[in-house]
Amino acid sequence: MKPELYGLVLAGGKSRRMGQDKSSLQYHGQTQRGHVYDLLQKFCAQVWISARPAQIATWQETRPCLPDAFTGLGPMAALLTAFAHKPEAAWLIAACDMPQLGEDALSALVGARLPQKIATYFVNPEDLLPEPLLAIWEPAAQSRLQEACQAGQYSLRQCLVLAGPEARAIVPVQGDFLENINDPQAWQRYWQKKTNQTDNYPEPF
């Protein structure tokens, strides 16, 4: 049987380049972590917001959160924590810094899912690199992730590269929804493009 699909919003980054919590920025009338949570709910049986415990303590968040059980592993910590929480489930993970992500991309990802693979993921059409932070990771991926950690390798992208044909790659015609907003300059470019204005856009601070 196809493993049940759960959702995980990746909101645990330290946002050093942005200068404040990226998951709390608003692009769609609410925090970005809340927006992505709502998107994932349309495709997943249950959804959690993943973040560092100290980070969650600063939020007034009513949605369910899943504190990282590991430190110093980056997004790998979130995914390992998710599998420890529900090892029998598949996890659709989505980073909170992709404001152009919408239902169409998520529908394409879920529709292309092959449970017999360890993961289904998008390839960025610009650089042809895997995007591991918008992907479905199947239960079979757990042993690969654990082996990678034991070897001191914490890159989810590298895990997908090494998986080769054991994971399913999707190359979208356009990859705007994969664009990350990681610093104030990227925030400015996003709003200038969206509003077609050069000086009338919200500040991230």
> φ and ψ at 5, to 5 degrees?
-100, 125
Residue 190 within a domain: no
**Mean pLDDT, residues 10-31:** 86
Q: Is residue 203 part of a domain?
A: no
Q: How far apart are CA 26 and CA 44, in angstroms?
A: 23
User: What does R_g of the chain's alpha carbons equal in angstroms?
Assistant: 16
- The token duo for 91 is 């996890």
**Average pLDDT, stretch 166-184?**
91
Tell whether 88 is covered by a domain: yes
Q: Which residues pair with 123 in a beta bridge?
A: 130
User: Is there a domain that residue 185 lies in?
Assistant: no
pTM over 0.85: yes
C-alpha dihedral over 50, 137, 155, 76, to 10 degrees? 30
Contact (CB, 8 A) for 20 and 61:
no
Are 33 and 24 contacting, i.e. CB atoms less than 8 angstroms apart?
yes
Contact 24, 31 (CB under 8 A): yes
Domain with 104 in it: what CATH number? Answer: 3.90.550.10
pLDDT tens-digit readout, 143-155: 999 999 999 999 9
Q: Is the pLDDT of residue 122 over 90?
A: yes
In a domain, 96, yes or no: yes
What's the confidence (pLDDT) of residue 43?
98
The residue that leads in pLDDT, 12 or 105, is: 105
163 belongs to a structural domain:
yes
pLDDT of residue 184 exceeding 90, the answer is no
Give the pLDDT confidence score for residue 201 in this predicted structure. 57
The angle at the Cα of 162, spanning 71 to 86, to the nearest 5 degrees, equals 45
Number of domains in the chain: 1
Beta-strand runs (E) in the chain: 5-10, 47-51, 65-67, 90-95, 119-123, 130-137, 168-170
Residue 197 in domain:
no
The string over 127-165, giving b where at least 16 C-beta atoms fall within 10 Å of a residue's C-beta and e elsewhere, is eeebbbbbbbbbbebbebbeebbeeeebebeebbeebee
Instruction: Provide the pLDDT for residue 203.
Output: 61
Question: Pairing between strand 47-51 and 90-95?
Answer: unpaired
State the pLDDT at residue 175: 82
Q: What's the pLDDT score for residue 192?
A: 85
Domain range for 67: 5-179
Beta strand pairing call for 168-170 and 119-123: parallel
Range scoring the smallest mean pLDDT among 18-22, 41-45, 65-69, 75-79:
18-22
